[in-house]
Amino acid sequence: MERKKSVIITARVHEELCSVFEKKGYSIKYVPQVSYDELYEMCDAATGLIVTTRLPIDKKLIDRAVQLKWIGRLGSGMELIDVVYAESKGITCVNSPEGNRTAVAEHALGMLLSLLHRICSSFEEIKSGNWFREENRGEELTGKTLGIIGYGNTGTAFSKLLAPFDVTVLAYDKYKFGFAGQYIKEASLEQVCRFADVISFHVPLTPETFHMADETFFDLLHQHPVIINTSRGGIIKTSALKEAILHGKVSGAALDVFEHEQPGALPDIGKENMDFFLRQKNVLLTPHIAGYSRQAFYRMGQVILEKLGI
């Protein structure tokens, strides 16, 4: 008798994803709050796992899941999944950056425009009873040079949104070439640091990219750029960014991701660091929601299904 296919869903997903699994004959365990230990105990008979960045899918768990055929990651980063080991066991691993790239790109652009035109900070002043016009004179994005570090799904989507602003985009990607055209220029990291008025990160978190924006990186900056990070918190060394802001090496920062994020709680970047960022008019923080639009919530599940052939 053929074993019934089953999927464990460890995060909130669009109802359409569950509906498709049911139509395809899967039994579903929908446990969006499951802990690692609970998942370990229940995964031995699972055919598939749907995961996000909340739980590590490590060698121990993979060895326990003896029936596992595939792992679907809602979103882009695969750093919490031991992909190499899983694939060595014949387990297919897929992610869905195509599903939320537009949401991330729009969020990055929104944060940038808000910083340049002092939208959020001036609103806070109005709520406090202050009406400061001269002090809130903004900067136009039009005509500026933007550096994009990482030219994959979200980096490309972000660059497309910039087309109407008559900007020059300097895009650096260590593993991708031949994509220049019109306002998009292929550039080295050194050129991005030298010429960019804005630098936006769109790279996965790997041993190679961890703390790539450290003290040395900020020392290379020439134009006092705005820094945007909608990728992974560990890309930027928090203490180095703080010092860069203090010493005017950057003119602002828009952060949607942080080192050591805690589910349902403020990120653990140190109370002193958090208090500092919250006091700065030229810093804008959001709680890892860039890729979290309602449309992306639906599309990410559809991309997973397409890649798995379900």
- Kindly name the residue from 79, 98, 259, 261 that is annotated as catalytic: 261
Q: Is residue 232 annotated as a catalytic residue, yes or no?
A: yes
- Closest to 263 measured CA to CA, from 11, 69, 64: 11
| Residue 229 amino acid letter | N
Q: Running DSSP on this structure, what letter comes out for residue 163?
A: G
CA distance linking residue 292 with residue 195, whole number of Å: 31
- Kindly name the residue from 101, 118, 232, 299 that is annotated as catalytic: 232
196 class by beta-carbon count within 10 Å (0-12 exposed, 13-18 middle, 19+ buried): buried
Q: What pLDDT score does 2 carry?
A: 55
At a CB cut-off of 8 Å and minimum separation 6, what does 46 contact? 6, 7, 8, 29, 65, 67, 68
CA atoms within 13 A on the CB side of 292: 13
**What radius of gyration do the chain's Cα atoms show?**
21
3-class SS of residue 71? strand
List pLDDT tens digits, range 72-96: 999 988 989 999 999 999 999 999 9
Contact, 203 vs 234, CB < 8 A? no
Share of the chain above pLDDT 90, in %: 92
Average pLDDT over residues 109-130: 97
Structural domains of the chain, ranges and CATH numbers in brackets: 6-95 (3.40.50.720), 99-285 (3.40.50.720)
List pLDDT tens digits, range 223-234: 999 999 999 999
> E strands along 96-243, which residues?
145-149, 168-172, 184-186, 198-201, 226-229
Name the pTM for this structure: 0.92
Q: Is residue 261 annotated as a catalytic residue, yes or no?
A: yes
Could you count the other beta carbons within 10 Å of the beta carbon of residue 68? 24
- Kindly name the residue from 288, 294, 299, 306 that is annotated as catalytic: 288
CA distance linking residue 107 with residue 97, whole number of Å: 15
Average pLDDT over residues 234-245: 97
Average pLDDT over residues 2-19: 91
Q: What pLDDT score does 264 carry?
A: 72
Q: Is residue 288 annotated as a catalytic residue, yes or no?
A: yes
**134 phi/psi in degrees, rounded to 5:** -60, -40
What does DSSP say about strands 48-51 and 70-73: parallel, antiparallel, or unpaired?
parallel
Q: Running DSSP on this structure, what letter comes out for residue 202?
A: -
Sign of CA dihedral 13, 19, 22, 26: negative
Q: What pLDDT score does 272 carry?
A: 87
pLDDT at 248 over 60: yes
